[in-house]
Structure 1
Amino acid sequence: MNELLHERTRQVSENIRRINPPELFDGEVYGMSQGTVDPRSGLVFLSGQVAWDEHGQVRGEGYAEQARVALDNLRVGLEAAGSSLEQVLRLRIYIRGEVEEHMAEVVPLVAEAFAGIRPAVTGIGVASLATRDTLIELEVVARVPGAAAV
């Protein structure tokens, strides 16, 4: 029974495509990918994107600057998966501190990036993120056009 379960798990795992574009931080040391694509559902799940360069260094000091970099990183991850911002179904915005205190800085940038798309959005205030200097993290679920859905 365990062998059958292990074989099934391996088959499912082999079908999942891992997304790790060279422009984004390589999360292998943490056992993670920047994203995964499930070809059966036609969905891409991107890990939370922060204002890091490919070396894990924070770019930008304020919420607005970091939101711009995180949005650029989202674009890179989505394009590597064969998707785009236009295909985003859900966006989660994690903000260090009280969300309301930083909405004026972040919302215009998000609204511009997702103009006319209007994905489902949740804003979540958190006590900390990946590093002390990280102020915002953006996580999405999107469609991959042309992916074979079951």
Structure 2
Amino acid sequence: MASGGYSQISIAEPGRLAFLSGQVAWLPSGEEAPKDVAGQGKIAAANLAAALKELGASGQDIVMLRVYVVDATTEKFQQVQTSLDELKGTGMPSITTIGVQALYSPDILVEIEMVVRVP
């Protein structure tokens, strides 16, 4: 996984960790989520980036990502990975990708959880 920018093992320095619940493609403006996996992944990653900023953290502080995709395929996971690569930058978090039958709402196709070391 290192060649893909992820690690099989992540070690967080002593200190506090933040556990972020699954982020989906809900926009603060209330507009409808995109109907495609790539678009939803981009918005979910933007929501996670906002959380990182609020924590005073960066992509280097991400310890773990857990990605849930409805009716998953390798191609769908790769579409989400593009947004995650932007989110994590040069960070090397552990990642788990999980295919699911459904998420909270029928229009939601992607959900991403994150664990962050709080600087």
Structures share fold, TM-score greater than 0.5: yes
Please, which runs of 5 or more residues in structure 2 have no aligned partner?
A: 1-13
Instruction: Give the equivalent residue in structure 2 for 1:139.
Output: 113
2:21 counterpart SS class: strand
1:121 counterpart SS class: strand
Are the counterparts in 2 of residues 99 and 124 from structure 1 also a CA contact under 8 Å? no
Distance of aligned partners of 1:104 and 1:57 in 2 relative to their CA distance in 1, 3 Å threshold: same
1:61, distance to aligned residue in structure 2 (A):
1.7
Cα deviation code 1:33-58 (max 9, x no counterpart): xxxxxxx9411111100000237654
Are the counterparts in 1 of residues 58 and 88 from structure 2 also a CA contact under 8 Å? no
Q: Which structure is larger by alpha-carbon Rg, 1 or 2? A: 1
2:56 counterpart SS class: coil
Q: Residue type matched to 1:87 in 2?
A: D
Q: Residue type matched to 1:53 in 2?
A: L
Please, which runs of 5 or more residues in structure 1 have no aligned partner?
A: 1-39, 146-150
Are the counterparts in 2 of residues 99 and 123 from structure 1 also a CA contact under 8 Å? no
For 1:35-114, list aligned pairs within 5 A: 41-54=15-28, 58-114=32-88
Instruction: Give the equivalent residue in structure 2 for 1:32.
Output: none
Cα deviation code 1:41-78 (max 9, x no counterpart): 41111110000023765422211110110000001122
Are the counterparts in 2 of residues 93 and 122 from structure 1 also a CA contact under 8 Å? yes
Higher relative contact order (CA 8 A, sep 6+): 2
Number of positions where the alignment pairs a residue of Structure 1 with one of Structure 2: 106
Distance of aligned partners of 1:54 and 1:112 in 2 relative to their CA distance in 1, 3 Å threshold: closer
1:133 counterpart SS class: coil
Distance of aligned partners of 1:81 and 1:104 in 2 relative to their CA distance in 1, 3 Å threshold: closer
Select between 42-51 and 103-112 the one with higher mean Cα deviation: 103-112
Q: CA RMSD in A?
A: 2.0
Instruction: Give the equivalent residue in structure 1 for 2:5.
Output: none
